[in-house]
Amino acid sequence: MANGIQVTQAAESYLEALADDLGVSEARYREANDSYNALGEWFHREKSTIRQYKPQVYVQGSFRLGTAIRPIDDREDYDVDSICEFRGLTTADLTQKQLKELLGAEIHSYHRAQSMTKPVREGRRCWVLNYADGAQFHMDIVPALPDANRQRLLLETSGFDARWTQTAIAITDNERADYAMMTAEWQRSNPKGYSGWFVQRMGEIFETRRRALAESVRASVEDIPVYRVQTPLQSAIMILKRHRDWRFAGNSEIKPISVIITTLAAHAYAGEATIGEALTSILTKMDSFIQKIGGQYVIPNPTDPLENFADKWVEHPERAEAFFQWLQQARSDFLNAANLTEQAEIAKRVAPAMGDALAERVRERAAKTGGGLLRKSSVAPVIGSTVSFPDQPRMPTTPKGFA
């Protein structure tokens, strides 16, 4: 029972099956992992123009956190967000524009060498590689530089906790006025730090399940990536993201962004052992972690409190309104379904919020398997953490493990 709300066994079984159905398949993780490693190898080949700058490629976002979900439409792409951090450069060496172009030249070179047909696209902060239709994903590669010292000084000077700043980075943004200027004031980010905070919020249940999975496949704990160990927190976030996607289909401009949902859910999670308990706890408490300072909504980045994930709500108040309306609807849909005892009733209750096809498919899955909390089979390639390439050419190491 969470916050006085009783979750029936039927509802728990349904939620387990729902999270399992929403999860990204091992095959998709493997395809993304192979492409990700190939790109890192390319940056460290003998003729690479950036090899001497010690590029380090790693994944951020939902693929790193284990909260990625299948698209509503199977024809849609998965979005794999990654960072290329140049460990051998600093913001004193070049401008954001120069760094973006440095990485872009190698991205285009890789694109030609692989005979990729879809053109390379430039985003505001990244380069976008579109893979073949069969792969069903595109990769956003954000150029970055180490920025630990600056960010630690900023936080300490402001009286904030700076424990996560060791992995802080500076990233490019072509909409900034100083994009082509020499300056140390680049946009800040810290996907590794955020991932570390998120794992900490999952608590002991993550470590326990990770060890159990490692033992079941006779692997070391370090070989089990975050995404393979599905905790109640990760599953609850996946369910909330699908509910969000369905409610705002065709209206993406105002839909709550994943990092806000993920951050508030992680704050509200209190170590509950089941998905149902975690989901009800999160839905009941998540808005209590939204601050209001000087009339402005503030959702601080837990690894950089000077960053406000809700900063766009000032310019776009309709986004704040959309968030609170969505939360109210999610509470109604899931909290009312929590006490139902028949899975057919549960499917009927959540269908308007998740889609008829998904609701029924999950009902059938729950009837057969009862759902599942641990990702199955043998240890798959790891996509959730760092692939590090030193100066000398070599094969990339196996990664060990941002929304």
Whether residue 374 is predicted with pLDDT greater than 70 in this model: the reply is no
Say which amino acid occupies 176: R
Q: Alpha carbon of 46 to those of 40, 43, 141: distances in Å?
A: 13, 9, 21
- Specify the range with the lowest mean pLDDT, choosing from 104-118, 136-150, 212-226, 307-321: 212-226
What is the tens place of the pLDDT at every residue in 136-165?
778 999 999 999 999 999 999 999 999 999
Q: What percent of the chain has pLDDT over 70?
A: 90
Backbone angles phi, psi at 394, to 5 degrees: -165, 170
Q: What is the pLDDT of residue 134?
A: 61
Q: Please state, rounded to an integer, the average pLDDT across all residues of the chain.
A: 88
Can you tell me the mean pLDDT for 83-101?
97
Please report the pLDDT score of residue 73 as a whole number: 78
Using DSSP bridges, classify how beta strands 137-146 and 300-301 pair: parallel, antiparallel or unpaired: unpaired
At residue 137, the pLDDT reads: 79
Q: What is the pLDDT of residue 247?
A: 94
Torsion angle of the four alpha carbons 325, 308, 275, 202, in this order, in degrees rounded to the nearest 10: -170
| Region of poorest pLDDT, from 142-151, 224-233, 323-332, 365-374 | 365-374
Question: For residue 394, is pLDDT > 70?
Answer: no
Q: For the residues 114-131, what does the mean pLDDT come to?
A: 92
State the pLDDT at residue 316: 96
Q: What is the mean pLDDT of residues 186-194?
A: 96
Contact 263, 308 (CB under 8 A): no
Q: pLDDT at residue 76 above 90?
A: no
Confidence band (pLDDT; 50, 70, 90) for 311?
A: very high
Cα–Cα distance, 105 to 158 (Å, whole number): 39
**375, pLDDT greater than 60:** no
- Type of residue at 359: A
- In SS3 terms, the chain reads as CECCECCCHHHHHHHHHHHHHHECCHHHHHHHHHHHHHHHHHHCCCCCCCHHHCEEEEECCHHHHCCCECCCCCCCCEEEEEEEEECCCCCCCCCHHHHHHHHHHHHHHHHHHCCCCCCCEECCCCEEEECCCCCCEEEEEEEEEECHHHHHHHHHHCCCCCCCHHHCEEECCCCCCCCCCCCCCCEEECHHHHHHHHHHHHCHHHHHHHHHHHHHCCCCHHHCCHHHCCCHHHHHHHHHHHHHHHHCCCCCCCCCCHHHHHHHHHHHCCCCCCHHHHHHHHHHHHHHHCEEECCEEECEECCEEEEECCCHHHHCHHHHHHHHHHHHHHHHHHHHHCCCCCHHHHHHHHHHHHCHHHHHHHHHHHHHHCCCCCCCCCCCCCCCCEECCCCCCCCCCCCCCCC
pLDDT for residue 24: 86
For 94-114, the pLDDT digits (tens) are: 999 999 999 999 999 999 999
pLDDT at 12 over 70: yes
d(CA 351, CA 359): 5
Percent of the chain with pLDDT over 90: 71
Segment 289-316 mean pLDDT: 96
Residue 296 confidence (pLDDT): 95
Say which residue, 36 or 51, is predicted with more confidence. 51
Residue 146 confidence (pLDDT): 98
How far apart (Å, rounded) are the C-alpha atoms in residues 384 and 396?
A: 15
User: Comparing 77 with 95, which gets the higher pLDDT?
Assistant: 95
Q: pLDDT at position 397, please?
A: 33
pLDDT for res 133: 59
Q: Please, how many CA atoms are within 13 Å of residue 342, restricted to the half-sphere of its CB?
A: 4
Asked if residue 201 has pLDDT above 80, the reply is yes
Q: Indicate the pLDDT class of residue 135, thresholds 50, 70 and 90.
A: low
Per-residue buried b or exposed e for 125-142, using 16+ beta carbons within 10 Å of the residue's own CB: bbbbbbbeeebbbebbbb
| Predicted local confidence at residue 333, as pLDDT | 94
What is the model's pTM? 0.89
